[in-house]
Amino acid sequence: MTSTPKPLEFCGRRLGGNGRALVCTPLVGRSTRALLAELASILPQSPDLIEWRADFFDAIADQRQVLAAASQLRQLAGSVPLIFTRRASHEGGEPLAMDEDSVVELYAAICASGDVDFVDYELSQSEHHRRRVRAVSQAHGVALIVSCHDFDRTPASVDMLETLARAEREGADIAKLAVMPRDPSDVLRLLEATLQAHTALQIPVITMSMGAMGALSRTCGWQYGSSVTFGVGHRVSAPGQIPVGVLRSTMAALGAAG
């Protein structure tokens, strides 16, 4: 058994698989201008991936503006892969005045645009919506991250493993789980569930224990098989995120320990 994180495979590319976690930096700008400025300030930190948290975008209900912003982000990001995420408010995202049918149609348009490499959609959504997102992402060669967030607690270990396994059964290319610790042993349980899922599943897993207590998992989760860690470039998108440079140097120190 090895805990080397699995690489991400998308659009004929392969990212990671070199023993460390890939570093993903979120963008949380409310306007296209703010997003582009944020991206420009983040790129010199050489993130491996960029996540556009589109639930922060004021014009998210205007498909035309979302597609125009995605196209500009794509151009500026160059070859750095982009993840498109509308995080639902019941999983810690910004509240939106949009129904889920419209959100899913936005996912269809963004997948068809060719401007993003990954989309992230929640396991908690209805089967009908999840199937549609799976179908449109597959049709356009966009990799699907199926995610689950619990901002209140760390579920039982068997349930965390089952959540990641269910994401795989339901067609995810990558399974993601973010949970909140209430005591330090919760962080250890998340890491253990990560190792079990990494071993049991075919697809890559991404996990994190959130908040200050869980920050440890963001630096060493890769040693338990988590393929990606989220680091702050400009502003955090979830509690406990660490600056990209600190993440990188901590991972390097852990990796170099002899």
Ligand X SMILES: O=C1C[C@@](O)(C(=O)O)C[C@@H](O)[C@@H]1O
Annotation: binding site for 3-dehydroquinate: 51-53, 87, 218, 237, 241
- Is residue 149 among the annotated active site residues? yes
Give the residue carrying structure tokens 């991400």: 8
**Minimum gap (Å) between residue 206 Cβ and ligand X:** 8
Residue 170: Cβ-neighbour burial (10 angstroms; 0-12, 13-18, 19+): middle
Q: Tell which one of 146, 191, 208, 247 touches ligand X (CB under 6 A).
A: 208
- Is residue 176 among the annotated active site residues? yes
Q: What number of other Cβ atoms are within 10 A of residue 30's Cβ? A: 13
Contacts of 37 (CB under 8 A, 6+ apart): 29
Q: Tell which one of 8, 22, 69, 85 touches ligand X (CB under 6 A).
A: 85
d(Cα 60, Cα 67) in Å, to the nearest integer?
10
**Which of the stretches 30-38, 167-175, 236-244, 249-257 binds ligand X when contact is defined by CB under 6 A?**
236-244
Q: Is 234 an interacting residue with respect to ligand X (CB under 6 A)?
A: no
Q: Tell which one of 80, 241, 244, 251 touches ligand X (CB under 6 A).
A: 241
The token duo for 1 is 């058994």
Give the residue carrying structure tokens 């075919």: 202
Choosing from 90, 128, 140, 176, which is the catalytic residue? 176
Mask of contacts with ligand X, 111-150, x by CB under 6 A? ---------x--------------------------x-x-
The rounded Cα 170 to chain-centroid distance in angstroms is 17
Question: Helix (H, G, I), strand (E, B), or coil: what is residue 218?
Answer: helix
Q: Which residues bind ligand X (CB under 6 A)?
A: 26, 51, 53, 85, 87, 120, 147, 149, 176, 178, 208, 210, 230, 237-238, 241
